Amino acid sequence: MTNLSINPRGLENSAPSLSMDALSEQVQEYIQAVVSVYQCPQDMVIASAFAVAGAAVGTRLTIDDGKYRNYPCLWVCIVAPSGTNKSTPMRLLLQPLKDVDARAYEEFRKDLKLWKAAGDDKADKPIFRQHIVSDCTPEARTQILMFSPHGVILSMDELRTFIDNLCRYNKSGELTQLLSINDHDTLTVNRKGDDPVLINSPYMAMLGSIQPSILADTFGNTLMMGSGFNQRWLYVYPNATPPPMYSEETLPETIANSWGIGIKNLLIHDFLVDGGKMYLRGEAKHVYEDFYNKLQSLKAETDEYMSSVYSKIQIYAIRWAGITHILGKSSLLENGRFTPDITPEEMKYSCRCMEYFIWCAEKVYAKLLEGRKKPETREMGNEEMIARVYFANKPKSQRAFADALGVSQPYIAKCLKKYAWLSGYRLSESKSIDNKDDNAQMRDNHQVDGI
Q: Which helix (H) or strand (E) holds 63?
A: strand 62-64
pLDDT tens per residue, range 143-160: 899 888 899 999 998 898
pTM (predicted TM-score): 0.79
Rounded Cα distance between 213 and 63, Å, is: 37
Nearest to 70 by CA among 233, 205, 224, 228: 205
3-state SS of 295-312 is: HHHHHCCCCHHHHHHHHH
Q: Is the pLDDT of residue 365 over 80?
A: yes
Task: Report residue 176's pLDDT band, with 50, 70 and 90 as the boundaries.
Answer: confident
- Pairing relationship of beta strands 62-64 and 69-70 according to DSSP bridges: antiparallel
Write down the pLDDT at residue 168.
65
Helix (H, G, I), strand (E, B) or coil at 134: coil
For the stretch 370-426, pLDDT in tens is: 877 655 556 778 888 898 888 888 888 999 999 989 999 999 999 888 887 776 544
Per the prediction, the chain carries an average pLDDT of 85
For residue 28, the SS3 value is helix
Residue 368 · residue 242 · CB < 8 Å? no
Percent of the chain with pLDDT over 90: 55
Q: What is the pLDDT of residue 377?
A: 56
pLDDT given for residue 7 in this prediction: 52
Question: How many Cα atoms sit within 13 Å of 60 on the Cβ side?
Answer: 20
Quote the CA–CA distance of 288 and 324 in Å, as a whole number.
Answer: 14
Alpha carbons 401 and 122: distance in angstroms, whole number: 82
**Residue 10 has what pLDDT?**
43
Q: Which of 40, 5, 437 is nearest to 241 (CA)?
A: 40
What would the pLDDT profile of 56-99 be if each residue is shown by its tens digit? 999 999 999 999 889 999 999 999 998 788 888 899 999 999 99
Q: Are 52 and 263 in contact (CB under 8 A)?
A: yes
Q: How far apart are CA 348 and CA 288, in angstroms?
A: 8
Residue 13 has pLDDT above 90, yes or no: no
| Mean pLDDT, range 178-200, rounded to an integer | 83
Average pLDDT over residues 198-209: 93
Domains of the chain: 11-373 (3.40.50), 382-444 (no CATH)
